[in-house]
């Protein structure tokens, strides 16, 4: 089997594979890869079987993602496609194996993807990094914050200020997992005709903004929050108050928010709209917990050395991570964390903590604590080491705005 990049004249081959796999028109892919999409042919990869026939394809593009106010380079994987007649032959696994070897050789710290199967990608070393609250709320449940008086409608002349606000928000320590955003996302994902925008402005400074849709009808009128971005607490309250005011015409407010969102805590009654009877006793549905993207540590030393760590945390340990796809990650490493940074060196000492790469990736993201991993039998380490790991890798829940989905 051969994993390789493509040349421009092979774009139709990739488009055909992905069109047959995902049941979308091939023209959609041809247009995108010929310069009108987020990626061009340089992001495409093919897998050929021994007779030279292309049997699988994917897209890979690199973007820095935010973590604790800093950034880490990541390979974003999309469009992993195997046509129906070629499935259950191991081609998707071999395609991903080639990709991971490529990214590791480039010392790329991380890889992110939205999975068609969590179980499949776990076997390749990816772990779930993103859980969100999917909420369908009655707008009147939101508080009528006085700060909403600083909210106004956005116009085309506000685009630069909105972009600057997004960039500031992305660098806040609690906004983890946001990829850097280019013109394509702003023009094709944010500036859609059906999107409405509202700004929170004080003294001429945009401190937050909303992108939302509102589908008017005489029976059900849902409003869907596409982006809710804020850089100050008062901006969050002002935008929440604006959404509450939509209750004069909106029947349902739909929000997909990271677990760290303060929205649930602000509701007068934390109930999902039309929740029905109690789930049990007096436990009523407030939201649906859903999983999103997965993360993989690709180059372990680069990922450990390249990220920020919580201020004031000091830790020192020897770790060994089992990585069947990338055995080079399996050598023991000595890690010393202090002053928000890590020093990483090879070690001949006996490891104090052991786990597989999918578990380590979740721990690295702060999505799972070391104690939780040990409880479920996925990590070896004593109480002191588990406490040190949990403190060192603590991070606000990861999320990603809809315009950045890939």
Under 8 Å between Cβ of 29 and 43 = no
Delimit the domains of the chain by residue range: 2-108, 133-291, 298-392
d(C-alpha 178, C-alpha 185), whole Å:
13
| DSSP letter assigned to residue 34 | I
**Residue 241: phi, psi to the nearest 5?**
-65, -35
Measure Cα distances from 130 to 64, 127, 217, 398, 403 in Å: 17, 9, 34, 5, 16
In total, the chain counts a number of residues equal to 406
| DSSP letter assigned to residue 257 | E
Hey, what CATH class is 2-108 in?
alpha beta
Reported pTM:
0.96
Task: Tell me if 2-108 shares its fold with 133-291.
Answer: yes
Under 8 Å between Cβ of 77 and 37 = no
User: Which residue do the tokens 């380490």 mark?
Assistant: 381
Q: 31: Cβ–Cβ under 8 A, 6 or more apart, which residues?
A: 37
Under 8 Å between Cβ of 253 and 240 = no
d(C-alpha 30, C-alpha 14), whole Å:
9
**The pLDDT of residue 247:** 93
User: What is the helix (H) or strand (E) element at residue 19, kind and residue range?
Assistant: helix 11-22
Cα torsion 10, 14, 17, 23: sign: negative
User: Which residue do the tokens 């602000």 mark?
Assistant: 266
Under 8 Å between Cβ of 241 and 148 = yes
Query: 133-291 maps to which CATH number?
Result: 3.40.630.30
DSSP states of 135-199: EEE-GGGS---GGGGGEEE--GGGHHHHHHHHHHHHTSTT-BSPBP--HHHIIIIIS-TT-EEEE
What is the token pair recorded at 90? 């191991």
**The pLDDT of residue 145:** 98
DSSP states of 347-380: --SPPSEEEEHHHHHHHHHTSS-HHHHHHTT-EE
Q: For every residue of 94-145, which 3-state class applies, written as one string?
A: HHHHHHHHHHHHCCCCEEEECCCCHHHHHCCCCEECCEEEEEEECHHHCCCC
pLDDT one digit per residue (tens) for the chain, 406 residues = 999 999 999 999 999 999 999 999 999 999 999 988 999 999 999 999 989 999 999 999 999 999 999 999 999 999 999 999 999 999 999 999 999 999 999 999 999 999 999 999 999 999 999 999 999 999 999 999 999 999 999 999 999 999 999 999 999 999 999 999 999 999 999 999 999 999 999 999 999 999 999 998 878 999 999 999 999 999 999 999 999 999 999 999 999 999 999 999 999 999 999 888 999 999 999 999 999 999 999 999 999 999 999 999 999 999 999 999 999 999 999 999 999 999 999 999 999 999 999 999 999 999 999 999 999 999 999 999 999 999 999 999 999 999 999 9
Beta bridge pairs of residue 205: 202
Buried b / exposed e across 218-241, counting CB within 10 Å, b at 16+?
eeeebbbbbbbbbbbebbbbbbbb
Query: 298-392 maps to which CATH number?
Result: 3.30.1050.10
d(C-alpha 176, C-alpha 252), whole Å:
28
**Residue 223: phi, psi to the nearest 5?**
-115, 125
DSSP states of 262-322: SHHHH-SS---TT--S-SBTTB----EEEE--EEEESSHHHHHHHS---TT--EEEEEEEE
**The pLDDT of residue 216:** 86
User: What is the helix (H) or strand (E) element at residue 64, kind and residue range?
Assistant: strand 54-67
Neighbours of 358 (CB within 10 A): 25
For 242, the 3-state DSSP assignment is helix
């Amino acid at each position: 089997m051969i994993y390789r990049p493509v040349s421009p004249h092979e774009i139709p081959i990739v488009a055909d594979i992905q069109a047959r796999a995902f049941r979308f028109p091939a023209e959609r892919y041809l247009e995108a890869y010929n310069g009108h999409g987020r990626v061009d042919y340089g992001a495409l990869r093919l897998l050929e079987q021994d007779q030279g026939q292309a049997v699988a394809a994917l897209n890979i593009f690199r973007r820095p993602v935010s973590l604790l106010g800093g950034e880490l380079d990541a390979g974003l994987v999309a469009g992993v496609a195997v046509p129906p007649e070629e499935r259950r032959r191991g081609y998707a696994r071999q395609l991903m194996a080639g990709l991971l070897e490529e990214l590791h050789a480039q010392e790329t710290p991380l890889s992110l993807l939205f999975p068609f199967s969590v179980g499949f990608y776990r076997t390749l070393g990816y772990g779930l990094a993103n859980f969100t609250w999917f909420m369908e709320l009655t707008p009147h449940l939101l508080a009528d914050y006085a700060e909403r008086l600083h909210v106004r409608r956005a116009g085309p002349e506000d685009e630069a200020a909105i972009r600057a606000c997004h960039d500031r928000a992305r660098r806040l320590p609690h906004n983890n997992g946001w990829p850097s955003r280019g013109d394509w996302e702003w023009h094709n994902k944010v500036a859609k005709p059906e999107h409405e925008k509202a700004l929170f402005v004080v003294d001429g400074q945009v401190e937050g903004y909303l992108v939302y849709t509102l589908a008017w009808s005489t029976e059900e009128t849902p409003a869907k929050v596409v982006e809710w971005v804020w850089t100050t607490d008062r901006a969050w309250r002002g935008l929440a108050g604006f959404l509450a005011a939509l209750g004069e015409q909106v029947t349902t407010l739909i929000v997909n928010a990271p677990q760290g969102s303060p929205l649930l805590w602000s509701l007068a009654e934390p109930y999902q709209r039309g929740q029905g009877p109690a789930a049990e006793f007096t436990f009523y549905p407030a939201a649906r917990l859903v999983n999103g993207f997965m993360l993989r540590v690709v180059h372990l030393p680069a990922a450990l050395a390249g990220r920020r760590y919580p201020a004031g945390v000091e830790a020192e340990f020897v770790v060994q991570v089992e990585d069947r796809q990338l055995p080079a990650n399996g050598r023991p490493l000595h890690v010393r964390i202090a002053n928000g940074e890590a020093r990483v060196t090879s070690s001949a000492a006996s490891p104090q903590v052991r786990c597989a790469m999918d578990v380590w990736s979740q721990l690295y993201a702060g999505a799972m604590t070391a104690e939780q991993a040990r409880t479920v039998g996925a990590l070896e380490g004593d109480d002191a080491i588990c406490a040190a790991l949990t403190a060192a890798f603590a991070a606000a829940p990861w999320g990603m705005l809809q315009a950045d989905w890939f």
